[in-house]
Amino acid sequence: MQLIAQGAEAKLIRAGNTLVKDRVPKSYRLKEIDEKLRKFRTRREAKVLKALEKIGFPAPRLVRTDESAWIEMEFLEGPVLKDVLEKKDAIPLCREIGRSVALLHNQDIIHGDLTTSNMILKDSVHFVDFGLSFFSKRVEDKAVDLHLFRQALESRHYRIWQECFDAFLEEYKAHARGAEDVLRRFLDVELRGRNKAKY
């Protein structure tokens, strides 16, 4: 057992070929509320991982879960994409990400934290950390996913972000159902973000 990361929400513990995500109690919350919230988020994440496995999506395979607080999933070996994107041929990788996000959204799954920090490069780009993921048919939620990815690219990969995002969008438009509506809403979300930044 090896602790490989500890964030605000959970500890990540490697156990051989699997990874245990253990949601830690929060002392600042009422105990009953904390337990209910951790159970809800754990159940939701497990449900998303099961749905992804059914469609062959590149993400960790769920091994088992204790709905009280933890999930055991496949450990994905490989570099985090944020560390290698600019050392690789970034455009094809971003096209691949665009196709994958379209597949997610076609299943009405919102990742909730689309960044290159939450992607592992194996034979293909694998998505990880579905702790903020949820099911939604709302165009707004899908547009916000795109907005978050655009922000992450510009922040972390500022030298190449525009061509990367253009490649991503080209594939997303080609493969996502209702892409035109999502992209129209995406422009609205971007505008709201710029207006908020002025104040």
- Percent of the chain exceeding pLDDT 90 equals 79
Question: pLDDT tens digits for 30-83?
Answer: 888 888 988 999 999 999 999 999 999 999 999 999 877 899 999 999 999 999
Structural domains of the chain in order of their starting residue, each with its CATH number: 2-74 (3.30.200.20), 81-197 (1.10.510.10)
Distance CA 199, CA 189 (A): 16
Give the angle subtended at the CA of 12 by the CAs of 69 and 79, to the nearest 5°: 140
Rounded alpha-carbon distances, angstroms, from residue 42 to 67, 149, 172: 6, 24, 29
Question: pLDDT tens digits for 83-97?
Answer: 999 999 999 999 999
123 is known as an active-site residue: no
Distance CA 30, CA 8 (A): 17
Instruction: Dump strand ranges (E) for the chain.
Output: 2-6, 10-15, 18-23, 62-66, 70-74, 109-110, 119-121, 125-127, 134-135
Among 28, 20, 22, smallest CA distance to 9 is for: 22
* Model pTM score: 0.91
Kindly name the residue from 22, 83, 113, 129 that is annotated as catalytic. 113
Structure confidence at residue 134 as a pLDDT band (50, 70, 90): very high
Q: pLDDT at residue 190 above 60?
A: yes
Distance CA 83, CA 81 (A): 5
Distance CA 52, CA 126 (A): 11
Question: pLDDT tens digits for 6-27?
Answer: 877 789 999 899 999 998 888 7
